[in-house]
Structure 1
């Protein structure tokens, strides 16, 4: 058990699996109090040391209520999101609307819910999950996803400027290809065209400069740093963690 987040309270969305779950567990391991939320309450099982709560971040009122009931928060992690496979020619109105609602609006609402209290107390850290694919490098068939994640970067920087003098910091993490259940779904979706699951997975690995996928725990380690006082001089940054994919 570490001490890097001792005395800090954190709220994490999409903590049921993947990066969100790894962040929640990493925060607890560093001594933090964690309110872990997910739309699917069953996925929150096994999050030892966390306070768990079912939450649909697309429900503005429920989101605001959950943050308020969590009490004074030192850290907010906006992790909820969705990845559509589309281009400018194949993107549908429904995909566009859902992606911006979940990837952008929910991030905005999460920030709006915690920032007043953080500003009042003169401290706090917000960590938004963006993507290397929306900031540092284009990926094929990620039109809507790239648009939303680029927006998350812009939102993070704009919000950071507005509260920088009040002791509150906002940063975003831009992961590359990470081995998560979400990636597994995309691999499965590409399996037929790629010639099988192994070939589809191999295609994702092949584009990695290090020859491997990232792990959710590696992303969580960066989130711990950004949530802790070690990063007290870091704000408004979009930090790419991608194993060299964007080199």
Structure 2
């Protein structure tokens, strides 16, 4: 039986993280050919072994560095014979606290990874998708990028930038048959979420109370799962979403409803 992504060639940045690896597993299960990129070489090797990537189909990549990204995309295009889909799952959460208390180096690092990294991956990969005859880009934003956040304001600012970057790219490239969308996850059960709890607790809060506050913000009554975000990513990348471009899709258990 044919699978949804048979014959599709997918480049995933941030592929070794909790959300990126969930997307990699989902695409692989649906028949896609994958090229995985991440800054964490050991985690990338583990993912490659799990999914049985060929040796030339993953690359340690610094998404903040133009030359590193260009080399990654060039390697992916050669290894896969072209690129049809880009998934930008790279991202960091940054410090907790009042926005104006954010150290400048933390601010710059957040924007380097979350915004510059997404931009560079799009800048270098969209021409490859154009050469392939069209396709799709799915960026990872956040529900915080749609509504703001009182304790993770700098992170929210970066994800708001990703949302508007996505919409602008959609306007640029929809006429070429390249659809650009983003997912906006709420609180997802992952190491990043646990880090958020830890960082807020370091400012004097009680960790269990912080967790309960996050949970109460999701009317569905639980945190999301990485595979649930992956399901949304695969939908946006698929032909089922052929008329969707410029969409910022919340995956947040009604948190923004």
Structures share fold, TM-score greater than 0.5: yes
- Quote the residue 1:117 is aligned against: 128
Counterpart pick for 1:61 among 64, 67, 73: 67
- Quote the residue 1:48 is aligned against: 51
Aligned to 2:181, the other structure's residue is in SS state: strand
Aligned to 1:12, the other structure's residue is in SS state: strand
Moved more, 232-241 or 49-58: 49-58
Aligned to 1:179, the other structure's residue is in SS state: coil
What RMSD over aligned residues (CA atoms) do the two structures have, in Å?
A: 1.7
Q: Distance in 1 between matches of 2:122 and 2:148?
A: 27
Q: Does 1:97 align with 2:108?
A: yes
Contact kept, 8 Å, 1:191 with 1:199, in 2: the verdict is no
Taking structure 1 as the reference length, the TM-score comes to 0.93
Q: Does 1:180 align with 2:186?
A: no
Matches within 5 A, 1:67-216: 67-71=73-77, 72-84=82-94, 85-135=96-146, 137-191=147-201, 193-196=204-207, 198-216=208-226
Runs of 4+ in 1 over 6 A off after TM superposition: none
Q: Distance in 2 between matches of 1:92 and 1:111?
A: 28
Q: Distance in 2 between matches of 1:164 and 1:57?
A: 24
Aligned to 2:58, the other structure's residue is in SS state: strand
Query: Per-residue deviation at 1:118?
Result: 1.9
Aligned to 1:89, the other structure's residue is in SS state: helix
Contact kept, 8 Å, 2:64 with 2:120, in 1: the verdict is no
User: How many positions carry a matched residue from both structures?
Assistant: 245
- Assess, with a 3 A threshold, how the Cα gap between structure 1 residues 166 and 6 changes in structure 2: closer, same or farther: same
Aligned to 1:35, the other structure's residue is in SS state: strand
Q: Distance in 2 between matches of 1:2 and 1:194?
A: 51
Matches within 5 A, 1:34-45: 34-44=34-44, 45=46
Contact kept, 8 Å, 2:37 with 2:72, in 1: the verdict is no
Counterpart pick for 1:238 among 212, 223, 248: 248
- Assess, with a 3 A threshold, how the Cα gap between structure 1 residues 179 and 30 changes in structure 2: closer, same or farther: same
Contact kept, 8 Å, 2:84 with 2:132, in 1: the verdict is no
Structure 2 unaligned runs (5+)? none
Query: Per-residue deviation at 1:34?
Result: 1.1
Taking structure 2 as the reference length, the TM-score comes to 0.90
Structure 1 unaligned runs (5+)? none
- Quote the residue 2:15 is aligned against: 15
